[in-house]
Amino acid sequence: MSESNQAAEQVGGARRPYLAAAAAAAAVVASAIVRATLARGEALWLDEVWTGVMASQHAAAGVWRQLYNDVNAPLYGLVAALWGQVGGLSDEGLRAPGLVFGCLAPLAALLPVPGVPRSARLLWCVLLAGWTPAFWFAQDARCYTLLFLLTALGAVAFGRLLARPALGPAFAWATVSSLSILTHYHAILLVACQGLIYLAVHRGRALRTWPALVMFLPAAGWIAYHLPRVAAYADPQVAWYGRMRLRKLWRLADFLFGNRNALIVGVGWAALAVVLGKRIRPSVERSGQPWLVVAASAAAILLAVGLGFLRPSLVDRYLLPFVPGLLLGLALAGERLKARWRLAPAVLGLAWAVQAAVWVAHYKPPPERHYSFEAASEALMAAGAQRLVFYWDHPAAAVVGAAQLREVGGFFFRRAGHPVAVDPVILRPSGEAQTEVFGRARAPGSAVLWMYDRGVPGTSGRLRSPHPERLDAAWRCHDYGTTAVGILACARGVRPASYPPRR
């Protein structure tokens, strides 16, 4: 090789790390912009209203009651309650913490992990930044972006613990893991798999780090306290999703990678790494421990899906804790191919960015967003409702209880400063439920808000769609839902055309 070619190669090699860092920075900035703008302005959906109720509490007793009433782990609800005193209860205010956590999550990949080269960490950062479900989760007042951040940090902490089984790394991993569990209970599966792998690899050295287990005491104590509430929601007669079926596996795979195009990119890339990547890059070969981080996530996925076949316990977003480790596997596969194909990480990063851009260009609100009664509440306020008969037509309503339904049904009214008395209705499923519901709304100034999901067994609206005008010709109703979800807002003598349009 001539001296000029050697000099050019050295210059190119010096530039490549800076180009990779610039590409990662561009991905983080672009994803932050998408997170901040993509779903902005969409109405709050039902689960977000639960967060709004938590954030609206002004006393510690009220916050504690709401944390217990919710089926979810408490950490995000506590964050929302504290933030609500500062950021307010507007849609944007409630979603602000999720946006912040979502923007921070890709940065966790930049933290050093023994055995993971800098180029692989930059690629991992790009993959986290371009994981498309996180775009709309960032505009969702729920726990999922916090969970994404914590489990990405957990993958880093676990990689460090495997490399150095000492008290310091053990305390760091246990702290992040405990916070992940306190954010979402499905993180228990990931933490359990990581813990078992740690014990299997380091055995006696791992056992000597037992004092770090003290960091799990808050999670263990809360779970013991909250278990009766969770068990009530987990009753198969109450659960609103069925057991896992083979036909649903494709949807779970789509979610794990982000969408169908990302699934094709990810699976294709993994297959290419297996076929062509026979020579492992030395920096990875010295330690196979980063692959154990990936293995823990893969094992947790299999465990979660397997449990889903046994009992109703899984919807796609519950797999989110396992995504950071899965994407680390793609980044390591890119590093593996780099020994055979120098541009491999760049090609994977570019393909990932393209699929994310295509997804954004064709974005449609996820089905959950249609389960919103914000516009319906605004319509009933405009109609002058003074008393609201609220019927959440759902098998979990009996577990939620009348007091909580009163808080949820009147949330938008209270937020707007519109006084209303809320009468929550809890009924067994019946095709004649509308007689009971509208029978409670005879008093002047009464209105009805009836919500039901036609895909959920055990709902009255699924058995027979309500038609209150057949009971009383004075009722005027408008359905703010879709073919799958009914959001029926009814008032006497008010034409549907006077209702504000659905967002």
Query: Which segment of 112-126, 251-265, 391-405, 457-471 scores lowest on mean pLDDT?
Result: 457-471
Query: Which segment of 259-273, 335-349, 476-490 scores lowest on mean pLDDT?
Result: 335-349
Tell me if 122 sits within 8 A of 27, measured CB to CB.
Answer: no
Whether 9 shows a pLDDT value over 50: the answer reads no
Res. 16 pLDDT band, cuts 50 70 90: low
Q: Average of pLDDT values for 189-199?
A: 98
Closest CA to 332 of 152, 116, 140, 146: 116
Res. 5 pLDDT band, cuts 50 70 90: very low
Check residue 167 and give left, alpha or beta (phi > 0: left; psi -120 to 50: alpha): alpha
314-332: b (≥16 Cβ within 10 Å) or e: bbebbbbbbbbbbbbbbbb
Tell me if 355 sits within 8 A of 403, measured CB to CB.
Answer: no
Res. 503 pLDDT band, cuts 50 70 90: very low
Mean pLDDT of the chain: 89
d(C-alpha 432, C-alpha 471), whole Å = 11
Q: Average of pLDDT values for 142-156?
A: 98
Enclosing H/E stretch for 479: strand 475-479
Report CA-CA distances (Å) from 388 to 25, 264, 420: 50, 49, 7
CB neighbour list of residue 58: distance below 8 Å, 6 or more residues apart: 85
d(C-alpha 489, C-alpha 448), whole Å = 6
pLDDT of 337: 84
In the structure encoding, which two tokens stand for residue 331, read together?
A: 């980044």
Query: Which segment of 62-71, 99-108, 183-192, 273-282 scores lowest on mean pLDDT?
Result: 273-282
Whether 4 shows a pLDDT value over 60: the answer reads no
Q: Average of pLDDT values for 165-173?
A: 97
pLDDT of 273: 80
**Which tens digit of pLDDT belongs to each residue from 50-65?**
999 999 998 999 999 9
Closest CA to 328 of 111, 171, 137: 111
pLDDT of 15: 52
Whether 282 shows a pLDDT value over 70: the answer reads no
Query: Which segment of 8-22, 45-59, 213-227 scores lowest on mean pLDDT?
Result: 8-22
Tell me if 421 sits within 8 A of 389, measured CB to CB.
Answer: no
d(C-alpha 414, C-alpha 390), whole Å = 14
d(C-alpha 208, C-alpha 188), whole Å = 22
d(C-alpha 477, C-alpha 326), whole Å = 47
pLDDT of 6: 43
pLDDT of 463: 83
d(C-alpha 267, C-alpha 270), whole Å = 5
- Geometric angle at alpha carbon 334, from 332 and 340, rounded to 5°: 120
Whether 489 shows a pLDDT value over 70: the answer reads yes
Query: Which segment of 90-94, 135-139, 265-269 scores lowest on mean pLDDT?
Result: 265-269
pLDDT of 277: 60
Q: Average of pLDDT values for 333-337?
A: 85
Question: CA 414: distance to chain centroid?
Answer: 27
User: Is the full-model pTM beyond 0.75?
Assistant: yes
232 exposure class (CB count in 10 Å sphere: 0-12, 13-18, 19+): middle
Whether 352 shows a pLDDT value over 50: the answer reads yes
pLDDT of 305: 95
Q: 10 Å Cβ neighbour count for 223?
A: 16
Res. 145 pLDDT band, cuts 50 70 90: very high
Pairing of strands 475-479, 421-424: unpaired
pLDDT of 339: 76
pLDDT of 487: 94
Whether 12 shows a pLDDT value over 60: the answer reads no
Looking at the chain, the number of H-run helices and the number of E-run strands are 24, 5
Whether 497 shows a pLDDT value over 80: the answer reads no
Three-class secondary structure of residue 259 per DSSP: coil
pLDDT of 239: 74
Tell me the range of 339-343, 357-361, 476-480 where mean pLDDT is highest.
357-361
Higher per-residue pLDDT: 340 or 230: 230
Higher per-residue pLDDT: 140 or 335: 140
**Which tens digit of pLDDT belongs to each residue from 358-376?**
999 999 998 889 999 999 9
Res. 501 pLDDT band, cuts 50 70 90: very low
**Which tens digit of pLDDT belongs to each residue from 283-333?**
444 456 899 999 999 999 999 999 999 888 788 999 999 999 999 999 998
d(C-alpha 201, C-alpha 213), whole Å = 18
83-96: b (≥16 Cβ within 10 Å) or e: bbeebebebebbbb
Q: Average of pLDDT values for 93-101?
A: 97
Q: Average of pLDDT values for 26-30?
A: 96
Closest CA to 366 of 239, 248, 249, 259: 259
In the structure encoding, which two tokens stand for residue 280, read together?
A: 């492992």
Q: Average of pLDDT values for 248-274?
A: 90
Whether 13 shows a pLDDT value over 60: the answer reads no
Torsion angle of the four alpha carbons 23, 27, 29, 30, in this order, in degrees rounded to the nearest 10: 130
d(C-alpha 219, C-alpha 393), whole Å = 33
Enclosing H/E stretch for 134: helix 133-137
Q: Average of pLDDT values for 134-158?
A: 97
Give every strand in the sheet of 446-453, ordered side by side. Answer: 421-424, 387-393, 446-453, 485-492, 475-479
Tell me if 486 sits within 8 A of 451, measured CB to CB.
Answer: yes
